[in-house]
Amino acid sequence: MRIGLIQTRGIGDIVIALPIAAWHLRQGHEVLWPVDAQWLPFLQAAAPQVSFLPVDAALRGTLAYMLDEPRRLLQAQGCDKIVSLYSYVNGRADLVEPRLASSLKFDEYKYAVAGVPFAEKWALQLVRDRPAEQRLIERLRLGGPYAVVHDQGSNFRFDIQIPAAVSAQLQVVRIEPLTANPFDWIGVLEGASMLAMIDSCFSNLVEQMDLGRNRHFFLRSAVGFTPVFRNAWTFY
């Protein structure tokens, strides 16, 4: 079967949903997935078995970007089944499964509508670019124990301050746009002695791949739009 997934953005939501594609691939299906064209290169490299299709970034902020263009692309590819993973579309309650959307968290919803066991969320596996990860480690001059801070997302900022007693013991690294591929940070996250993060693709990578130690999460959303965490975090 040829299965199409609709989740054009954001990177964090795509990271959450990547195991859905992997599960369908293991069942012998082909998976096609329209995504923002600017992100397609690193997504295709990280999940090469998925057929990612480019959606014009100029359409951002429109229903065409989120749903209409992805659906058109998938229909043109002859998909046997198309699944929209959005649990909320502004002003369009008819575009979601209302009973599931009202009862489940948004990440649970994605797995439920796709017919995939939710435990698969923590089976995330990516093809890692180890040389790129190492280049970033060297650029940051990580020579001892360190803490990673991520406090600036695409539409949210939380001013995370590391106590002086901690920064005296750990080098503090703040995630910045030093690379076009967010997955280049996996090696940095993996080696961290402490993580302080907002809700983002980076915290999703940490949670789903069980990266780093001593994890701290700074909340930004109500319960329905905060991902499910099963690994050890302290919440603020």
Backbone angles phi, psi at 111, to 5 degrees: -70, -35
Task: Outline where DSSP puts E strands in the chain.
Answer: 2-6, 30-36, 51-55, 81-84, 146-150, 171-174, 194-198, 215-218, 234-235
Are 117 and 9 in the same domain?
Answer: yes
pLDDT of 17 strictly over 80: yes
pLDDT of 106 strictly over 80: yes
Domains of the chain: total? 2
What is the pLDDT at residue 152? 86
Are 136 and 223 in the same domain?
Answer: yes
Are 77 and 109 in the same domain?
Answer: yes
Q: Which are the contacts of 91, defined by CB distance < 8 A and separation ≥ 6?
A: none
Asked which of 121, 156, 183 is the last residue of a domain, the reply is: 121
Asked which of 121, 142, 157 is the last residue of a domain, the reply is: 121
Asked which of 121, 149, 183 is the last residue of a domain, the reply is: 121
pLDDT of 153 strictly over 80: no
Are 142 and 228 in the same domain?
Answer: yes
Are 9 and 117 in the same domain?
Answer: yes
Q: What does the pLDDT average to over 178-204? A: 97
Residue-wise pLDDT for 22-64, tens only, equals 999 999 999 999 999 999 999 999 999 999 999 999 999 999 9
Contact between 32 and 51 under an 8 Å Cβ cutoff? The reply is yes
Task: With residue 190 as reference, give the H or E element that holds it.
Answer: helix 186-190
Domain coverage including residue 11: 2-121
Are 141 and 218 in the same domain?
Answer: yes
Are 21 and 109 in the same domain?
Answer: yes
Are 70 and 142 in the same domain?
Answer: no
SS3 75: helix
Are 163 and 65 in the same domain?
Answer: no
Nearest to 117 by CA among 22, 32, 6, 231: 22
Are 15 and 44 in the same domain?
Answer: yes
Side by side, the strands of the sheet bearing 51-55 are 51-55, 30-36, 2-6, 81-84
Residue type, 123: A
What is the pLDDT at residue 170? 97
CATH of the domain at 101: 3.40.50.2000
pLDDT of 91 strictly over 80: no
Distance between CA 205 and CA 101 in Å, rounded?
24
Q: For all residues of the chain together, what is the average pLDDT? A: 96
Q: β-pairing, 81-84 with 51-55?
A: unpaired
Are 95 and 23 in the same domain?
Answer: yes
Are 9 and 79 in the same domain?
Answer: yes
Instruction: Please tell me the pTM assigned to this model.
Output: 0.95
Q: Give how far Cα 60 sits from Cα of 43, 68, 107, Å.
A: 18, 12, 22
